[in-house]
Amino acid sequence: MSVVSVTTGPRRGWKSVSTWIGAVIVGIAMICALFAPLLAPHDPFAQDLGKRLLVPFWMEGTDPAHLLGTDQLGRDYLSRLIYGCRISMLIGVTVTIVSAVIGIAIGVLGGFLGGRVDDAVLFAITTRLSIPVVLVALAVVGLLGSSMHLLVITLGLLLWDRFAVVARSTTMQVRNLDFVAAAWCAGCSRFRILSREVLPNIASHLVVVATLEIALAILLEAALSFLGLGVPPPLPSWGLMIAEAKDYMFFSPWVIVIPGIALFVLVLGINLLGDGLRDAFGTHRTDT
Amino acid sequence: MSALLEIEDLAVSFGRTGAVRGTSLTVERGETLCVVGESGCGKSVTALAVMNLLARGARRTARSMRFQGEDLLGLSDTGMARLRGNDMAMIFQEPMTSLNPAYTVGSQMTEVLRRHKGTPQRVAVDRAADLLARVGITAPGLRLGQFPHQLSGGLRQRVMIAMALMCEPKLLIADEPTTALDVTVQAQILRLLAQLQRDLGLGMMLITHDLGIVARVAHKVAVMYAGKVVENAATAELFASPRHPYTQGLLRCVPVPGKIKRDEPLGSIPGTVPRVGPDFEGCAFRERCSFADPTCEHEIPRHQAGGAHDFLCRLPA
Amino acid sequence: MLQFLVRRLIVALLVAATVMTLAFILTRLSGDLAVSIAGPNATQEDIELVRKAYGLDRPLTSQFFDWVGRAVTGDLGESYFFKARVSSLIAERMPITITLGLTGLVIALLVSLPLGILAAVRENTTLDRVVQMVALLGQAMPSFWLGLILMITFGLQLGWLPISGTGSWQHYVMPGIVLAFSAIPALTRLTRAGMIQAMGSDYIRTARAKGLSRASILLKHALRNAAIPVVAIAAVQLGFMLGGSIVIEQVFALHGVGFLAWESIGKNDFPVVQAVVLVLAVIYVALTMLADLMNAVLDPRLR
């Protein structure tokens, strides 16, 4: 007998490896964020103008006390990086909480009530998408002055669209399922149906969206701080670190390479974890 | 002269499922072979295996597969593509989705001819219009410029048939071409296929689970069960003296006016077609068969019942 | 279709009106504009003078309707800092931003269409996983940082491309690549998903049964259908890119609309800021309508 055509099916394992990588990255970031004062070898704000722009450990002439070198003001780069992780995680999580509350409320209402309410929700989403996020966030911070609170509220008010889109569509699906109809028939109140039947069933989709939003918020904070209208100095935000080191990048490229890679790896880790969660929950991509 | 299509011992498996397990079929020129059986018995997979259109992940083996004497097993992908749509054509069960929604009927019909014969577009359009008229579509010129979504299911299946005929194939494989259509349209399409087969001298492999269709159009019949042909016979012979218990069961499920008495219950075969592995031994029908005994778990001999009639059962009776 | 377009147009106008209101509220958030315009060293008289000169002493509602009334006729007011018409300022800078956005979109499509098709054709192989990984990496890339790294590498060390400014087409290569990165992940995933769906469809089985060539099956029959959502998202992505180009314009010192907005934010030049927000929103809405139209062209069922 002759074999004519054989094709292999999907292989497993690779997906779980990448999920684990993501989980480890996020885990390390969370430890850095929570225990920054214990982990940082130096005070991230302490300037030492005698030790400016010391090179990191892989280059010649490094100072063993400063593993990742120092910045243009002689502040320890590793310590600033660890404190920067705290800022990134803090902003990512708080912005996502604000936007999740807004987006889920809007989306669930539209999907659950339908009709005029849903038309209004769709209109709100369209309007929100037409507003340029970076520009408006910059304008708000520029006009009102930079602070962490303002940044979180502004980004939270701008990033709820994906939560709303996903909450709306999944609520619509769940609304039409038999057990929700059964709950209606049993005389449950709207609030009870929403909280007991709908929300638990759309939660897995929303968790996946949340990971994406945390990653997006971290990137946006970095971009705004880079433009000088995000986290106020001397806080060690990674975006701000890149902005402050920009003038030295042609002679000491590592001053922007280090915080950039930290940012990239953290966002990648969150996305890998989100992808893994999506597969684990069996939900489909909703962001395109 | 060799047969039009000759398959020996075809086997197709998807992972641990043996969809087709040693099927042998022959289609002569100008002859209609009906392949019958319940859903999931391997009819469609057999057809797709002949066309080499199996989905990814399928494993196809055979002792030999010849089309007009040419070995299909040794043929490259491009060699096979040159045969498909040209000397052997196929129409499918799903007329609603089998045409590309983005292109007009005309463009989808003419591209076959341009591909295989290099026919100029203008000539190809004329042939497409002729064939549309031939399959009973009025205003063919108008239809050529229309998109699939503007046509009904029956019309789309007619377009599929006309498209299959563009290159004057020798063999037409029709995989349940009427299943998705309304009953009245089903009869029209069948009549059309039978007529085209006669007029053009086509060899046809018609896959169906409808024995009424078989009785009307087939020259000979192959009954499939769980990936094996359990009975081969000329049509009249099969209906007159079915030998395999499964064939007998199938025939009992068909109401025949005059033969069946009022209030008499129609026959039915309990259970469904089992999923079996490629190395399954014995008769796959034994669990639903009233004649089964322990010997059915071993290799089953193929009995000859005279002429071209054979069947696969331990009972020679 | 016409009815659908009219509906979309009405929604677009409503969106524009809402954005106008929001942009107006946004610029009034900072409290007393006259104080910020007059500057830190201004006396009380200076501030009063500014208040009168810019009409800031009038009630907010009358300021609002005045702005809306003039914006509808294309008059976006006057810049405090540049002492020029806002509309001409934007018109002057827009070509740079549009060029940048289109360059980014073209690069994104040139990368993501082949990658998406390749990944779909080789679904579940190493190649497919590599492509999906590339999409994930692209999604995690901070655009401004990538811009700086490209500047160091290709601008300084290799000297292949100019580092900043807008003198020639070479000036748009690096910013275009950076901008493209923001759209590549979504476009690649969408192309891949669309192609996988199309390749598994009945009409592709028909095309194969017709003996068509592999190229024809892939590019004529599958891609045409897979491209429909890609085109729609590409238009929307262009809208996002124009809005997001503010960061890249700043990195590469491209004096486009984004750069203008950034300068104006620093100068409290609120007529420019609110006008740029409005113009970008209108462009976005227009692009989504364009996407609907292109969908109708590509998908005969929508006509």
Task: Please name the residue of chain C whose CA is at the shortest distance from the CA of residue B50.
Answer: C209
pLDDT tops 50 at residue A7? no
pLDDT (tens digit per residue) in A47-67: 777 777 777 777 777 777 777
Q: Say whether pLDDT at C160 is over 50.
A: yes
Q: Do B97 and C221 touch (CB under 8 A)?
A: no
Q: Provide the chain C residues 44-83 that lie in CB contact (below 8 A) with chain A.
A: none
Contact A257 C149 (CB under 8 A): yes
> Which of the pair, A187 or A13, is modelled with greater confidence?
A187
Min distance A5 CA to chain B CA atoms (Å): 6
Label residue C77 left, alpha or beta by phi (over 0 means left) and psi (-120 to 50 means alpha): left
Residue A4 has its nearest CB partner, among B15, B56, B61, at B61
Continuous H helices in C122-222: 126-140, 143-150, 173-199, 202-209, 214-215
The answer to whether the beta carbons of residues A83 and A71 sit under 8 Å apart is no
Q: Closest Cα partner for A130 from C139, B317, C279?
A: C279
Which chain A residues are within 8 Å of C145, Cβ to Cβ? 222, 226, 242, 256, 260, 263-264
pLDDT on residue A11: 39
**DSSP secondary structure string, B153-209?**
HHHHHHHHHHHHTTT--SEEEEESTTTTS-HHHHHHHHHHHHHHHHHHT-EEEEEES
Q: C244: which strand partners?
A: none
Provide the token pair at C190. 């969408």
Report the candidate in A5, B165, B98 with the shortest Cα–Cα distance to residue C204.
B98
Min distance A40 CA to chain B CA atoms (Å): 54
Under the banding of pLDDT at 50, 70 and 90, the label for residue A9 is: very low
Closest chain C residue by Cα to residue B79? C211
Mean model confidence pLDDT for chain C: 85
As given in the structure block, the two tokens for residue A85 are 């992780």
pLDDT in tens, A80-91: 899 999 999 999
Cα A144–Cα A146–Cα A147 angle in degrees, nearest 5 = 110
The β-bridge partners of B29 are: none
Find the helix packing angle between C143-150 and A199-226, rounded to 10°: 40
Minimal CA separation from A21 to chain C, in Å: 13
If you average pLDDT over residues C166-194, what whole number do you get? 87
Q: Which of C211, C214, C300 sits opposite B116 (nearest CB)?
A: C211
Cis omega before residue A234 (within 30°)? yes
Q: Which of A2-6, A106-110, B46-50, C99-103 has the lowest mean pLDDT?
A: A2-6
Q: Using CA coordinates, name the residue in chain A closest to B13.
A: A6
- Chains A–C, number of C-beta pairs less than 8 Å apart: 147
Give the Cα separation of A153 and A96 in Å (integer): 10
pLDDT for the residue numbered C13:
87
pLDDT above 90 (res A249): no
Q: Are residues A9 and B60, on separate chains, in Cβ contact within 8 Å?
A: no
Closest CA in chain A for residue B75: A4
Chain C residues closer than 8 Å to B160 by CB: 206
Domains located in chain C, CATH noted: 99-268 (1.10.3720.10)
Residue B13 pairs in a beta bridge with: B18, B59
How far is it, in rounded angstroms, from Cα A136 to Cα A139? Answer: 5
Question: How far is the C-alpha of B276 from the C-alpha of A154, rounded, in Å?
Answer: 61
- C86 touches A: beta carbon within 8 Å: no
> What is the predicted pLDDT for the residue at B288?
84
Measure Cα distances from A269 to B133, C28, C291 in Å.
62, 40, 33
**Nearest chain A residue to C128, by CA:** A10
**Taking 70 as the threshold, does the pLDDT of residue C256 lie above it?**
yes
10 Å Cβ neighbour count for C69? Answer: 10
The pLDDT assigned to A1 comes to: 32
Name residue B206's beta-bridge partners: B34, B174
Q: Is A6 in contact with B59 (Cβ distance < 8 A)?
A: yes
Q: Which residue of C has its CA nearest to A220?
A: C142
Asked if B222 contacts B212 with a C-beta cutoff of 8 angstroms, the reply is no
Q: For residue A15, what pLDDT is reported?
A: 66
* DSSP letters spanning chain B: ---SEEEEEEEEEETTEEEEEEEEEEE-TT-EEEEE--TTSSHHHHHHHHHT-PPTTEEEEESEEEETTEESTT--HHHHHHHBTTTEEEE-S-TTTSS-TTS-HHHHHHHHHHHHH---HHHHHHHHHHHHHHTT-SSHHHHHTS-GGGS-HHHHHHHHHHHHTTT--SEEEEESTTTTS-HHHHHHHHHHHHHHHHHHT-EEEEEES-HHHHHHH-SEEEEEETTEEEEEEEHHHHHH---SHHHHHHHHTS--TTTSPTTPPPP---S-PPP--TT--S-TTGGG-TT--GGGGS--PEEE-STT-EEE-S---
Q: What is the pLDDT of residue A17?
A: 84
**Per-residue model confidence as pLDDT tens digits over B113-162:** 999 988 899 999 999 998 898 888 889 989 999 999 999 888 898 899 99
| Helical pair A199-226 and C126-140, crossing angle rounded to 10 deg | 60
Chain B interface includes C171 (CB < 8 A)? no
Q: Worst-scoring range by mean pLDDT, A35-44, B21-30, C226-235?
A: A35-44
Domain over A4-36+76-287 is classified CATH 3.90.950.20:
no
Neighbouring subunits of A (3+ Cβ pairs under 8 A):
B, C
For the four alpha carbons of A256, A257, A262 and A264, in that order, the dihedral sign comes to positive
- CB count, 10 Å around CB of A6? 12
What would the two tokens of residue B207 be? 């896959």
| Chains with 3 or more CB pairs under 8 A to chain C | A, B
Confidence of residue C32 (pLDDT cuts 50, 70, 90): low
Q: How far apart are the CA of C103 and the nearest CA of chain A, in angstroms? A: 19
Inter-chain CB proximity A5 and B54 less than 8 Å: yes
C-beta separation of B202 from B169 below 8 A: yes
Whether the predicted pLDDT of B201 surpasses 50: yes
DSSP states of C57-88 as a string?
A: TS-HHHHHHHHHHHHHTT---B-TTT-SBHHH
Give the DSSP per-residue string, chain A.
-EEEE-------SHHHHHHHHHHHHHHHHHHHHHTHHHH-SS-TT---GGGTT---TTSTT--TT-TT-B-TT--BHHHHHHHHHHHHHHHHHHHHHHHHHHHHHHHHHHHHH-HHHHHHHHHHHHHHHHS-HHHHHHHHHHHH---HHHHHHHHHHHS-HHHHHHHHHHHHHHHTSHHHHHHHHTT--HHHIIIIIIHHHHHHHHHHHHHHHHHHHHHHHHHHHHTTSSSPTTS--HHHHHHHHGGGTTT-THHHHHHHHHHHHHHHHHHHHHHHHHHHHTPPP---
The 3-state DSSP class for residue C116 equals helix
pLDDT digits (tens, 9 = 90+) for C186-212: 899 999 999 999 998 999 999 999 999
Beta bridge partners of B71: B66
Contact C243 A127 (CB under 8 A): no
Residue A157 confidence (pLDDT): 92
Beta-carbon contacts of residue C135 (< 8 Å; ≥ 6 apart): C115, C184, C185, C188, C189
Q: Which of B56, B57, B59 minimises the CB distance to A3?
A: B59
Q: Do A134 and C193 touch (CB under 8 A)?
A: no
List, as ranges, residues 226-265 from C with C-beta within 8 Å of A: 229, 233, 236, 239, 242-244, 246-247, 250, 258, 261-262, 265
Q: Alpha-carbon distance A16 to A283, whole Å?
A: 16
First to last CA, chain A: 47
- The yes-or-no verdict on residue B109 having pLDDT over 90 is yes
Residue position matching structure tokens 């641990």: B16
CA dihedral sign, ordered B37, B42, B48, B52: negative
pLDDT tens-place string over residues A70-119? 777 778 888 889 999 999 999 999 999 999 999 999 999 998 888 899 99
Whether the CB of C213 is below 8 Å from some CB of chain A: the reply is: no
Per-residue model confidence (pLDDT) at position A76: 83
Q: pLDDT category, A5, cuts 50, 70, 90?
A: very low
Using DSSP, state whether C282 is helix, strand or coil. Answer: helix
CB contacts of B100 in chain C (<8 Å) are 203, 206-207, 221, 224-225
Lowest mean pLDDT segment, chosen from A21-30, B36-45, B109-118, C200-209: B36-45
Q: In this predicted model, which residue has the larger pLDDT, A153 or C298?
A: A153
CB contact under 8 A, A1 and B56: no
Over residues A126-136, mean pLDDT: 89
Task: Give the Cα separation of B261 and B257 in Å (integer).
Answer: 8
The tokens for A10 are 């999907």
Tell me which amino acid residue A36 is: A
Spell out which residues of chain C touch residue B149, defining contact as CB-CB under 8 Å.
Answer: 300-301
Distance from CA of A211 to the nearest CA of B (A): 34
Task: Select from B82, B99, B149 the Cβ nearest to the Cβ of C211.
Answer: B82
- Greater pLDDT, C166 or B46: B46
Domains of chain B: 5-87+174-310 (3.40.50.300), 95-166 (no CATH)
Residue percentage of chain A with pLDDT more than 90 = 30
Mean pLDDT computed over B18-33? 89
Higher pLDDT among residues B202 and A3, named by residue: B202
Q: Which amino acid is at A54?
A: L
Of A18, A227, A268, the CB nearest to C247: A227
* The pLDDT value given to residue B260: 62
Residue from the list B51, B83, B102 with its beta carbon closest to the beta carbon of C225: B102
Chain C's closest residue to A288, CA to CA, is C186
| Interface size, chain B vs chain C, as Cβ–Cβ contacts under 8 Å | 77
What per-residue confidence (pLDDT) applies to A4? 36
Mean local confidence (pLDDT), B53-73: 88
Look at residue B182 and tell me whether its pLDDT is greater than 90: no
pLDDT at A2 over 90: no
**Partners of residue B303 on adjacent β-strands:** B311
C-alpha distance from residue A87 to each of A46, A132, A140 (Å): 18, 24, 20
pLDDT at A159 over 50: yes
Residues C298, B97: C-beta atoms closer than 8 Å: no
